[in-house]
Amino acid sequence: MIAILKYNGGNVSSVQNALNRLGAESIITDDFALIRKADKVIFPGVGEASSTMKILKEKGLDQLIPTLKQPVLGICLGMQLMCKNNEEGNTVGMGIFDCKVKKFPQLDLVPHMGWNTVSHLKWPLFSEISNEDDLYFVHSFYCELSENTTSVCDYILPFSASLQKDNFFATQFHPEKSGKVGNKMLENFLKI
């Protein structure tokens, strides 16, 4: 069973639909007991950092998430809130990943929206995925490169397209909206 975190953040249904296409059983929940006993946890996110963190704090999810022992996948804003801080709303994150989230400089169109490739791919999420495969992004803020970076995207500047530390995985791109390549990445996560 996969627990998809329920916290009034966007994109929850898209993630569940992607899991359904893969034949994976999931539940959308904010119940601590169900989350703790789930085989995997997915923390999707679309929205604004400070207001989302406020909701996570009200539900106690900001304290629960860093204590989880099973594989956890943060997506987009979920990834950004797993970092130590975010320039959007001057938000303090959960600190799972030791990197900062910054706003893209206005040197090109912001938000970064659409298909892009990633490089410097590290397993296990990118097994059978190449740096020629496109993934779908939509974001105005980016995670710095760090020791936790497992893939890099270059838009305006190089940034972390994905992160991993221990049992915590995260992607800036949306695997649930990235077609066959995104499905493969989700399959790889399910196999961890």
**What DSSP letter does each residue of 137-152 carry, written as one string?**
EEESEEEPP-TTEEEE
Residue pair 170/164 in contact by the 8 Å Cβ criterion:
yes
Q: Determine the angle formed by the axes of helices 12-21 and 179-191, rounding to 10 degrees.
A: 80
pTM for the full model?
A: 0.95
- Looking at domain 2-191, its CATH class is alpha beta
Q: Does residue 9 carry a pLDDT above 80?
A: no
pLDDT band at residue 161 using 50, 70 and 90 as cut-offs: very high
Instruction: Give tens-digit pLDDT for 118-156.
Output: 999 998 999 999 988 999 999 999 999 999 999 999 999
d(CA 47, CA 113): 14
CA angle 186, 103, 162 (to 5 degrees): 20
pLDDT band at residue 45 using 50, 70 and 90 as cut-offs: confident
Residues annotated catalytic, as ranges: 76, 174, 176
